[in-house]
């Protein structure tokens, strides 16, 4: 079964109700008229009854009143039911009580932007929450229509205008988004999906948890180690943490004094169970045991600190593939070698390409600089055999996004 065929938006019931009322009325009228037709074909067949035998009926007032009044009432019923469903669909929820998503439909892709600036090539929404869509298409683009059959919603996108839709999804799942307005070569590929998820998952999507990279210093101050240990060599309540790794130290273990090397094992034990080995010159029972207080990762960070290994803080890299998907590049460029509206991205980096610059054909190598120009200002040189329909991304993409795409094209 097609997912969502039963209708998964809060107002799908009203729309389906209007649909069925209209259809059942049509079915009833169909049966009555076609049935009467067959009845008359049979009853007034020329062999059975001659035309001159049939009485000439001129007028029947009750019948005429009936077939005026009954259809009028039916029309009013249909109108009323339709208006009811339309009113629900066209009454937008308040901005502050709903999730507002900007929808960009362009030849031939969909992209979505949330109020915190997060972009996505799929529409991710939480269950049981009003979602309001503000839909746009670039001024030089054509008409598209945002259509989600499972939600029973459809609305045109018109260049230079912002059109609206809303819905409240009642069931988790993935539902098709289609373009319902013929918009050119790759119209049938202009698809995406709505993914309805729990509100927790939605929050995770909207605000991805940045893994907090704790440094050893953070851990030392968090757990209070720095109250007793210095990192600069000075002695407080306990020995300093400076330069202790793999150095010898005299400790007392079970009343016996011995000299050991401060290796990883010793250090972990000194933290988890400090009274096992007492460093010479210090007192037993002063340092509390920290067994269980440090996660495995924290312990590793601390041990690395003692070893003198500095951890590189992780930087969130932008994914070139994601930028390309969100900005609709893959609507016109394939990554598998097939030629769509534009040349394929497969093997594009450093390939020899014929380009048309002001009417003359030149052969060039697709290096970084060429690719950058091809993305931000595509009209400057057109790849031979293609037409100039790629929109310029000069003011759309940030520099680092262009670089991320180029990096992606290299791979
Ligand atoms: C209340 C004070 C106190 C706190 C808090 C404390 N320590 Fe200690 N620590 C000591 C003392 C005193 C010693 C030396 C006696 C011993 O070996 O138990 C010591 C010993 C150590 C040693 C062995 C040092 C060496 O020279 O061999 C390590 C490693 C250590 N502590 C790590 C930590 C870490 C990591 C923390 C925080 C998670 C911490 N300590 C918190 C007082 C403290
Ligand atoms: C509406 C369709 C369309 C979209 C959307 C589109 N392009 Fe293009 N692109 C084309 C066409 C057609 C050409 C060939 C004509 C030309 O050079 O302008 C082309 C050419 C290119 C070239 C040069 C190709 C070569 O073989 O030398 C690159 C690189 C490129 N596009 C990257 C992108 C990136 C990156 C995006 C998204 C940010 C994108 N395109 C979005 C249609 C599109
Ligand atoms: Cu379209």
Name the β-bridge partners of 154: 147
From the number of C-beta atoms within 10 Å of its C-beta (0-12, 13-18, 19+), residue 110 rates as buried
Q: Are both 102 and 200 inside the same structural domain?
A: yes
Q: Are both 84 and 115 inside the same structural domain?
A: no
Q: Are both 250 and 328 inside the same structural domain?
A: no
Contact 234, 241 (CB under 8 A): no
Given a cut of 90, whether residue 164 has pLDDT beyond it is yes
Q: What is the CATH number of the domain that holds 52?
A: 1.10.287.90
Q: Are both 342 and 371 inside the same structural domain?
A: yes
Query: Which of 165, 180, 206 is the endpoint of a domain?
Result: 206
Q: How far apart are CA 398 and CA 405, in angstroms?
A: 11
How many A from CA of 76 to the centre of ligand 3?
35
Q: Are both 162 and 186 inside the same structural domain?
A: yes
Atom number of ligand 2 nearest to Cα 396: 38
Within-domain flag for 211: no
pLDDT tens sequence across 85-136: 899 999 999 988 899 999 999 888 899 999 988 888 899 999 999 999 999 9
Within-domain flag for 176: yes
Q: What are phi and psi of 102, to 5 degrees?
A: -85, 130
Within-domain flag for 3: no
3-class DSSP string for 370-389: HHHHHHHCHHHCEECCCCCC
Q: How far apart are CA 161 and CA 110, in angstroms?
A: 16
Domain range for 238 is 216-307
Q: How far apart are CA 177 and CA 13, in angstroms?
A: 20
Query: Which of 90, 115, 136 is the endpoint of a domain?
Result: 90
Q: Are both 197 and 105 inside the same structural domain?
A: yes
Given a cut of 80, whether residue 228 has pLDDT beyond it is yes
pLDDT tens sequence across 348-380: 998 888 888 877 888 888 898 899 999 998 888
Q: Are both 148 and 237 inside the same structural domain?
A: no
Among the bound ligands, the one closest to the CA of 249: 1
Q: How far apart are CA 292 and CA 223, in angstroms?
A: 12
Within-domain flag for 244: yes
Q: Are both 195 and 236 inside the same structural domain?
A: no
Within-domain flag for 390: yes
Closest CA to 411 of 334, 335, 337: 335
Helix and strand element counts for the chain (H, E): 10, 16
Query: Which of 90, 109, 133 is the endpoint of a domain?
Result: 90
Within-domain flag for 1: no
Q: What is the CATH number of the domain that holds 325?
A: 1.10.760.10
Following CA atoms 383, 385, 388, 391 in sequence, which dihedral angle do they give, to the nearest 10 degrees? Answer: -60
Q: What is the CATH number of the domain that holds 114?
A: 2.60.40.420
Within-domain flag for 66: yes
Q: How far apart are CA 236 and CA 204, in angstroms?
A: 44
Helix (H) / strand (E) element for 251: namely: strand 248-253
Given a cut of 60, whether residue 314 has pLDDT beyond it is no
Which tokens in the block code for residue 14?
Answer: 């009203």
Q: Are both 258 and 283 inside the same structural domain?
A: yes
The model's pTM is 0.62
Q: Are both 83 and 105 inside the same structural domain?
A: no
Looking at residue 112, what is its pLDDT?
Answer: 93
pLDDT tens sequence across 19-33: 999 999 999 999 999
Looking at residue 312, what is its pLDDT?
Answer: 61
Question: Ligand 1 site: residues with CB under 6 angstroms?
Answer: 223-225, 227-229, 237-239, 244, 249, 262, 267, 270-271, 274, 277-279, 282, 286-287, 290, 302
Q: Are both 85 and 122 inside the same structural domain?
A: no
Given a cut of 90, whether residue 69 has pLDDT beyond it is yes
Nearest Cα residue to atom 13 of ligand 2:
342
Closest CA to 55 of 45, 66, 64, 44: 44
From the number of C-beta atoms within 10 Å of its C-beta (0-12, 13-18, 19+), residue 62 rates as exposed
Given a cut of 80, whether residue 211 has pLDDT beyond it is no
Among the bound ligands, the one closest to the CA of 278: 1
Q: What domain count does the chain have?
A: 4
Looking at residue 162, what is its pLDDT?
Answer: 95
Looking at residue 311, what is its pLDDT?
Answer: 64
Q: Are both 239 and 176 inside the same structural domain?
A: no
């Amino acid at each position: 079964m097609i997912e969502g065929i039963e209708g998964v938006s809060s107002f799908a019931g009203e729309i389906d109700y209007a649909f069925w009322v209209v259809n059942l009325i049509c079915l009833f009228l169909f049966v009555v008229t076609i049935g009467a037709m067959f009845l008359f074909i049979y009853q007034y067949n020329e062999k059975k009854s001659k035309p001159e035998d049939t009485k000439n009926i001129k007028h029947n007032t009750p019948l005429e009143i009936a077939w005026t009044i009954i259809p009028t009432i039916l029309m009013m019923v249909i109108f009323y039911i339709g208006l009811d469903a339309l009113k629900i669909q066209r009454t937008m929820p308040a901005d502050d009580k709903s999730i507002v998503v900007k929808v960009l439909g362009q030849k031939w892709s969909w992209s979505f932007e949330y109020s915190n600036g997060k972009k996505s090539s799929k529409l991710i929404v939480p269950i049981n929450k009003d979602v309001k869509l503000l839909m746009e298409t670039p001024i030089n683009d054509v008409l598209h229509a945002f259509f989600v059959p499972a939600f029973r919603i459809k609305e045109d996108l018109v260049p230079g205008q912002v059109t609206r839709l809303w819905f409240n999804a009642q069931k988790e799942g993935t539902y098709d988004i289609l373009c319902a307005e013929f918009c050119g070569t790759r119209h049938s590929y202009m698809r995406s999906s709505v993914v309805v998820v729990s509100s927790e998952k939605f929050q995770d999507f909207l605000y991805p948890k940045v893994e907090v990279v704790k440094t050893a210093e953070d851990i030392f101050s968090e757990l209070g180690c720095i109250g007793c240990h210095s990192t600069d060599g000075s002695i407080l309540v306990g020995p300093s943490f400076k330069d202790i790794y793999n150095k010898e130290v005299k400790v007392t273990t079970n009343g016996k004094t011995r000299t050991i090397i401060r290796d990883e094992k010793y250090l972990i034990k000194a933290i988890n169970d400090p009274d096992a080995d007492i460093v010479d010159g210090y007192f037993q029972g002063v340092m509390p045991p920290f067994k269980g207080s440090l996660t495995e990762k924290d312990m590793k960070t601390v041990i690395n600190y003692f070893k003198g290994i500095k951890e590189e803080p992780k930087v969130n890299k932008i994914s070139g593939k994601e930028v390309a998907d969100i900005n609709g590049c893959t609507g016109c460029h394939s990554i598998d070698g097939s030629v769509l509206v534009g040349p394929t991205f497969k093997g594009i980096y450093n390939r020899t390409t014929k380009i048309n610059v002001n009417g003359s054909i030149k052969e060039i190598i697709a290096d970084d600089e060429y690719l950058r120009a091809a993305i931000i200002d595509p009209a400057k040189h057109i790849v031979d055999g293609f037409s100039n329909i790629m929109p310029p991304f000069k003011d759309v993409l940030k520099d680092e996004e262009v670089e991320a795409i180029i990096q992606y094209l290299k791979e």
